Structure 1
């Protein structure tokens, strides 16, 4: 993890940007995105210097920004930023600059537009993308979109959604497309999710009732929507692992501080050997995750394919989060049950093992590439 948020002299002064945001009583996730994008912080992820070709951005800068956001804002705010910066915007940036998707990418980079990524379908389990029922039909030069998406980050706050939809029956990867949908278009309805969690993330459902769009609102080739999404989901998984490292580090730091201040029988709780052993086990877990983050962020032309490295990192991040937050909540005792306390964070952090691929899905990816990963280890040794 970077020692300072402004270690890169070419990047915008992130400390100063966050200081401006803190002058507001409770900046919304939308305001946070607009401010970071307008400052150049978002654009620097992709363009200054040339991005890592594996991810389409600079993973070290992404790590710095996610660490800063995790420290400054609730989980829902960071989640809102993460989906846009790691997945939605890179997908739009793959489109020609003079296309509607390209224009929207420019607006988002300037802080004038916010984005949602609408993949999880109302008609299918989240991990079964090819079973989706959201579909488009062609009427001359017009696309007609029907269906719905659920548990979508920024559903109620975004200006545009990138929607993965079916264009033909069947489950072949070429039967799915990505299209840009203005959320003010006739026939679009956003519905907030009935949940107590993720304040600021704008989570909800999107309903499409015969939404009519020009054919140029397709993003990329009509037959490459699922392939494009699969490519960029690796960057979202990378971000998930980097964020998990930042979050576990923050929680362990605060827990350690509490243990050194709280006294039992006249001595700091930290002096209790059983407490120290439990804390050390969580710290070892977190340090393993940090080492993996360092490895994945470093240039590695001979390392595993990005999809494998990202699956490995995301799975490790979710598992580490579960263990570390559970242990720290136990060590914090009653304080963990306070409003906004660690038990609430534990509940919200469960999404690290679901969104962007469940733990079982990711472990399958890792297992499929066992030989590659073991060969890489032997080479490194």
Structure 2
């Protein structure tokens, strides 16, 4: 990617180091991990050792104290550019860790954040249920206060990092009558009654461990309530905007990867006595994609700085997520078309990117939900 004024020299150094890590230790193993359906745990520890996990965490908890979302942006961009969908660093660092940072007690931060930074404590968040989808107010998982603990019962699905995670933030209903009466709980792997169900077989993102989770009479200590009781819905809503911004950044990075893969291919592939790139249709298709990418980049960079300033608007984040995920879908499809039959082969990265990109229009709020958010604000 061409350096942008948006970044400082420190960000570019961080980018160089992270890009080298991906090139040396991640990309060579992508096919192996896709076949295994999992990224090995030692990769998380290696990422932590190199300082790539939750750099915003304060130094007293083992972090770098870099409260600048541009570092998260670099990670999301480079994972997209590397066509890496299994190593969910953005979920861990940019989506889930901020819950503990923003709402956690001092004791919770001391207990969990050092492992979050080192890679010894992989994070997940469990919101989606088999019958609820994007409707958080319809969550059925329940937690009842029983003296010194909460009793947690329910089921979650489509949980990214569901197998690898050590700590899961679980959304559960705690108010018997209030529709939005949810609370968030820090639930550790290995607790009695907490069961990891089947690892889900997806059409893309094969190395990303997505699973079902079950909670049967799980005893959650009262000190593992995150924030205040019955305030979970508000906390989830507060964190959805940066989550959608992170997804938007990753989508744009993946679309740039599709463009780069295709440019390289069409400048080498011959047809009817000339390069594919020499056909006007090819050049026009790729020029249109590049233009949309560059326009979208300006919007994302602006929103990142607004997030740094504490003024990221939920509607803007929804628009960004809608635009970039839809753009990724168009770009991946149009680029694959230029590969012809080879694009449909799993051995070609463009085909795997195309399949993995499809869910970007669904997770973190579907395109239809994003349109509804925007429409309500009109």
TM-score (norm 1): 0.86
Q: 1:197: how far off? A: 3.0
Q: C-alpha separation between the residues in 2 aligned to 1:337 and 1:89?
A: 37
Give the counterpart of 1:184 among 186, 190, 196: 190
Deviation at 1:305, TM superposition (A): 4.4
Q: CA offsets per residue over residues 246-292 of structure 1, 9 Å max, x none?
A: 11111101101111111112111111112222222222222222121
Residues 54, 97 of structure 2: 8 Å contact kept: no
Q: 2:120 aligns with which of 85, 93, 112?
A: 112
The CA deviation string for residues 84-122 of structure 1, in whole angstroms up to 9 with x for no partner, is: 112111101124453335511221112221111110012
1-side partners of 2:102 and 2:191: how far apart?
23
Which structure is higher in RCO with an 8 Å CA cutoff and minimum separation 6? Answer: 2
Conserved 8 A contact 1:179-1:219:
yes
Number of positions where the alignment pairs a residue of Structure 1 with one of Structure 2: 360
Q: How many Å separate the matches in 2 of 1:190 and 1:111?
A: 20
Q: 1:184 to 1:230 in 2, by over 3 A?
A: same
Offset at residue 364 of structure 1 (A): 1.9
CA distance in 1, matches of 2:362, 2:178: 22
Does the Cα contact within 8 Å between 1:96 and 1:102 map onto a contact in 2?
Answer: no
**Secondary structure at 2:186's aligned position in 1?**
strand
Given the superposition, is the C-alpha separation of residues 65 and 358 from structure 1 closer, same or farther in structure 2, using an over 3 Å criterion? same
Aligned pairs (5 A) from 1:182-261? 182-191=188-197, 192-261=199-268
Secondary structure in 1 matching 2:106: coil
Structure 2: unaligned runs, 5 residues or longer: 34-38, 59-63
Match of 2:338 in 1: 331
Structure 1 unaligned runs (5+)?
52-57, 371-381
Give the superposition deviation at 1:171: 5.0
Change (3 A) 1:303 1:292: farther
* Among 119, 130, 134, the residue aligned to 2:137: 130
Structure 2 counterparts to residues 1-381 of structure 1, below 5 A: 3=3, 7-8=9-10, 11=14, 13-15=17-19, 17-18=21-22, 21-22=25-26, 25=29, 28=39, 30-46=41-57, 51=67, 58-72=68-82, 74-77=84-87, 80-96=88-104, 98-100=106-108, 102-122=110-130, 124-170=131-177, 172-173=179-180, 175-191=181-197, 192-299=199-306, 305-341=312-348, 342-370=350-378
Label 1:134 to 1:22 Cα distance change in 2 as closer, same or farther (>3 A). closer
RMSD of aligned residue pairs (Cα, Å): 2.7
For residues 187-234 of structure 1, give each alpha carbon's deviation from its aligned partner in whole angstroms, at most 9, with x where no partner exists.
111121133532222101000111111111100111211111111121
Matched with 2:61 is none
1:280/1:19 Cα in 2 relative to 1: closer, same or farther (>3 Å)? Answer: closer
| Distance in 1 of aligned mates of 2:137 and 2:51 | 37
Moved more, 334-343 or 234-243: 334-343
How far apart are the structure 2 equivalents of 1:160 and 1:169?
26
Task: Name the SS for the 2:153 alignment partner.
Answer: strand
**How far apart are the structure 1 equivalents of 2:243 and 2:27?**
30
Q: Determine helix, strand or coil for the equivalent of 2:368.
A: helix
Residue 313 to residue 46, structure 1, CA distance change in 2 (3 Å): farther
Secondary structure in 2 matching 1:198: coil
Q: Is the 8 A contact 2:48 2:119 kept in 1?
A: yes
Q: Distance in 1 between matches of 2:312 and 2:84?
A: 33
1:319–1:266 CA distance, 2 compared to 1 (3 A): same
Rounded Cα–Cα distance in structure 2 between residues aligned with 1:343 and 1:17 = 24
CA separation of 1:101/1:190 partners in 2, compared to 1, >3 Å: closer, same or farther? farther
Task: Report the TM-score when normalising by structure 2.
Answer: 0.86
| 1:340 Cα deviation from its structure 2 partner | 4.5
Q: How far off is 1:348 after superposition? A: 1.9
The alpha-carbon distance between structure 1 residues 34 and 258, as it changes in their structure 2 partners (threshold 3 A), is same
Q: Distance between the aligned counterparts of 2:187 and 2:287, measured in 1?
A: 49
In 1, Cα distance between equivalents of 2:355 and 2:263: 21
In the TM superposition, residue 143 of structure 1 has moved relative to its aligned partner by: 0.7
Distance 1:183 1:310 in 2: 32
Q: Shift of the alpha carbon at 1:299? A: 4.4
Matched-pair contact (CA < 8 Å) for 2:79–2:250 = no
